[in-house]
Amino acid sequence: MSLLENISKNIYSLDKSSMSQAKQRLDRLIKPTGSLGKIEDICMQLAGIYENKYFDTSKKAIIAFGGDHGVYEEGVAPDPQNITQLQFPNFAKGICGVGVLSKFVGADVIAVDVGVNCDHKLEGVLDYKIRKGTSNMAKGPAMSREEAIRCLEIGIEVAEECIKNGYKVIGIGEMGICNTTPSSAIISVIDNCDPEEVTGIGAGLKKEKLKHKAETIRKAIELNKPNRDDAVDILAKVGGFELGAMAGVVLACAANRIPVVIDGFISYASALLAYKINPKTKEYMIASHTSAEAGTEKALEIIKLSPLLNMDMRLGEGSGAALAFNIIEASNYTYKNMATFDEVNWVDRD
- Looking at residue 8, its amino acid is S
For 162-188, write each residue's pLDDT tens digit: 999 999 999 999 999 999 999 999 999
pLDDT at 294 over 90: no
pTM exceeding the 0.75 threshold for the entire prediction: yes
Burial of 350 (0-12, 13-18, 19+ CB in 10 A): exposed
Binned at pLDDT 50, 70 and 90, residue 205 comes out as: confident
Structural class in CATH, domain 3-55+334-344: mainly alpha
Place 346 in a pLDDT band, splitting at 50, 70 and 90: low
202 has a pLDDT exceeding 90: no
Q: What is the mean pLDDT of residues 28-41?
A: 97
| Contact status, residue 142 vs residue 182, Cβ threshold 8 Å | yes
Locate CATH 3.40.50.10210 in the chain: 60-326
CA–CA distances in Å: residue 10 to residues 164, 219, 277, 278: 17, 37, 12, 10
Which pLDDT value is given to residue 123? 97
Has residue 1 got a pLDDT over 80? Answer: no
Mean pLDDT computed over every residue of the chain: 96
pLDDT in tens, 69-118: 999 999 999 899 999 999 999 999 999 999 999 999 999 999 999 999 99
Question: Residue 238: which pLDDT band, with cuts at 50, 70 and 90?
Answer: very high
pLDDT in the model for residue 204: 76
Active site residue 317: yes
Which among 161, 317, 329, 343 is annotated as catalytic? 317
Counting beta carbons within 10 angstroms of the beta carbon of residue 52, is it exposed (0 to 12), middle (13 to 18) or buried (19 or more)? middle
Please give the CATH topology (third level) of the domain spanning 60-326.
Rossmann fold (3.40.50)
Percentage, residues of the chain above pLDDT 70? 99
Tens digits of per-residue pLDDT, 257-269? 999 999 999 999 9
CATH 1.10.1610.10 in the chain, residue ranges: 3-55+334-344
Query: Which pLDDT value is given to residue 200?
Result: 83
DSSP code per residue over 188-255: HHHHT--GGGG---TTT--GGGHHHHHHHHHHHHHHH---TT-HHHHHHHH--HHHHHHHHHHHHHHH
Asked whether the predicted pLDDT for residue 349 surpasses 70, the reply is no
pLDDT at res. 320 = 96
Side-chain-side CA neighbours of 329 within 13 Å: the count stands at 16
In this prediction, residue 295 carries a pLDDT of 87
Q: Evaluate whether 243 touches 254 at the Cβ level (below 8 Å).
A: no
Rounded CA-CA distance 125/11 in Å is: 29
pLDDT at 347: 60
- Per-residue pLDDT band for 161 (boundaries 50, 70, 90) equals very high
Residue 208 has pLDDT above 90, yes or no: no
When pLDDT is averaged across residues 229-237 and rounded to a whole number, the result is 98
pLDDT of 39 over the 90 cut? yes
